[in-house]
Amino acid sequence: DKVQQLTWLIVLEIATGTHLIVFVITGVVTASKSCNLKPSIRISSQSRSKSWSGEITVLIDFDMLKICQSRVARNLK
């Protein structure tokens, strides 16, 4: 009876550990995909200083824009 309890405990621990590992891997993959999909705007202008070469990349965080809009609206009221 004691051996059967130990066997079920080991099976339960393995199943729980496997589920936890799958959950963590899914979270990491989802987080990495969402970080890579941030919208970006490339600005290339002819009127820039000649000492700059290449392109300027501007990253826009839309969540931050929403927060700013709500704060500005509150301040205007």
* Alpha helix positions (H), 37-61: none
Q: Residue 10 pLDDT more than 90?
A: yes
Residue 14 has pLDDT above 90, yes or no: yes
Provide the residue ranges of all domains of the chain, joining segments of one domain with +.
2-45+54-76
Strands (E), 1-77: 40-43, 56-59
Token pair 């826009």: residue:
60
Report the alpha-carbon distance of residue 29 to residue 72 in Å, rounded. Answer: 35
Q: Taking a C-beta distance cutoff of 8 angstroms, is the pair 44, 58 a contact?
A: no
39, amino acid identity: P
> Does the pLDDT value for residue 20 go beyond 90?
yes
**pTM of the complete model:** 0.42
φ, ψ of residue 52 in degrees (nearest 5): -90, 135
